[in-house]
Amino acid sequence: MKFFSLLAGAAAFATSTVAHYTNSTQTGDIDQVTVFTPPSNYTIPRTLYARTLLLNQDCEEDNVILATWENYLYNNNTNPYFPIYQSYDGGKTWSERSRVYDQVNGWGLRYQPFLYELSEPLGNFSAGTILLAGNSIPQDLSETQLELYASTDKGYTWKFVSHIAHGGEALPNNGLTPVWEPFLMTYNNTLIYYYSDQRDPRYGQKLVHQVSSDLMTWGPVVDDVVYDTYDFRPGMAIVSALPFGQYIMTYEFYGAKEVDFAVYYRISNDPTNFNASVGYPLVATDGSVPYGSPYNVWTPVGGDLGTIVVSCGNLGEVYLNHNLGAPGAWTKINTVEPASYSRSLMVLPGQEDILIAGGGVLGGENNSVTVSTVDVKPKAPAFAKCKAKK
């Protein structure tokens, strides 16, 4: 309810600050910088699913960027770890900081890492603690285990914290019971651990979360996105805070009428109850519908309501929305970073440049981890604001 009245107001409001983009490639400072090139004896696809984190809770390490990814080692990848790379210059150069090994299962940390820095203390963990969520999976892919690791020294050393969800065989087939793709966000003095869940026999896959106030004990599995048709598979949830206490969740939706794995999104005042919100397809003003492995961030630049930036799995371009996610207000801009499976986005200091991190494509033989920036601040002069309306 509130969503629609707010958007109605926002739509009228935003007409005074229309954003103008040139049609040319938006070149940021960073043009496909290589973070890591795997040796040729790595197991194909070698790298995938890159994630980055901007540290900003500790004066000493503020503005350091950390990166991680799925890392398919040689020797058939028997005990993979999540690498932690570091950049001290905004993403231009990179070096290794640490490796996060599986400390409890003997399976390796194999798929879908996610990095997060606590902005508030939770349980025994102080603000500035670095968290790493990920999927621990044995080499034969027979089980999936979503985990939480923590570093209290900015990512140099790591300790296992807790198990969140255990699932079956690590294949995305309906009828199997894996868990996938964690994403973390603090809310109301808790940590929300979002993930994809195939364990509920009513749904091929659904999106869920669990919350914890101490990172050790976790509440029940709560549905975020479910569809009545068994074969439908919402997946890969990413959540960002928006102005006015709202949150956006993007996800890919196998079952969408627009296209398989269409990028969908929901807006909610309560990031623990996206289930009550309507799912919208992301349809751009040029008619395009992005699909596959979306990611989103919000940045305050680009208009009075800031800018939502959405990446997808099938295009180099990103989609922008200056109107808090209003349907019909999505535009597409070029980037220099090619499409990757589950590219990630991160707002850089200054908030105009978004760092896009890619780990290559599914099955790719020559994948490497690269980053590029895209400047989402409109370049041509904006129309003068209509002061009378404000």
The sign one gets for the Cα dihedral 129, 102, 68, 195 is: negative
Q: Decide: 168 and 178 in contact? Cβ < 8 Å.
A: yes
Binding positions for ligand NAG, rule: CB under 6 A: 23, 39, 41, 74-76, 123-124, 188, 214, 216, 223, 226, 275, 365-366
Q: Decide: 61 and 55 in contact? Cβ < 8 Å.
A: yes
Query: What is the H or E stretch that residue 11 is in?
Result: helix 2-14
Q: Decide: 197 and 222 in contact? Cβ < 8 Å.
A: no
Least Cβ distance, residue 121 to ligand NAG (angstroms): 11
Candidates 290, 298, 236, 288; CA nearest to 267 is 298
Of the pair 258, 270, the CB lying nearest ligand NAG is at 270
Of the pair 278, 386, the CB lying nearest ligand NAG is at 278
Give the separation between CA 195 and CA 251, rounded to whole angstroms: 11
How is the beta sheet containing 344-347 ordered, strand by strand? 33-36, 369-375, 353-358, 344-347
Least Cβ distance, residue 96 to ligand NAG (angstroms): 14
Of the pair 75, 174, the CB lying nearest ligand NAG is at 75
Least Cβ distance, residue 59 to ligand NAG (angstroms): 26
- DSSP letter at 377? S
Of the pair 231, 365, the CB lying nearest ligand NAG is at 365
Of the pair 284, 346, the CB lying nearest ligand NAG is at 284
Least Cβ distance, residue 225 to ligand NAG (angstroms): 8
Candidates 113, 91, 88; CA nearest to 100 is 113
Give the separation between CA 33 and CA 371, rounded to whole angstroms: 5
Least Cβ distance, residue 36 to ligand NAG (angstroms): 13
Least Cβ distance, residue 363 to ligand NAG (angstroms): 9
Of the pair 31, 223, the CB lying nearest ligand NAG is at 223
Of the pair 41, 229, the CB lying nearest ligand NAG is at 41
Please give the full DSSP string across 252-279, using - where no structure is assigned: EEET-SSSTTEEEEEEES-TT-GGGSPP
Give the separation between CA 115 and CA 52, rounded to whole angstroms: 7
Least Cβ distance, residue 166 to ligand NAG (angstroms): 21
Of the pair 275, 314, the CB lying nearest ligand NAG is at 275
Of the pair 15, 126, the CB lying nearest ligand NAG is at 126
Please give the full DSSP string across 215-255, using - where no structure is assigned: SSS----EEEE--SSTT-EEEEEEEEE-GGG-EEEEEEEET
Least Cβ distance, residue 208 to ligand NAG (angstroms): 10
Least Cβ distance, residue 298 to ligand NAG (angstroms): 20
Rg of the chain on CA atoms, in Å: 20
Q: Decide: 130 and 117 in contact? Cβ < 8 Å.
A: yes
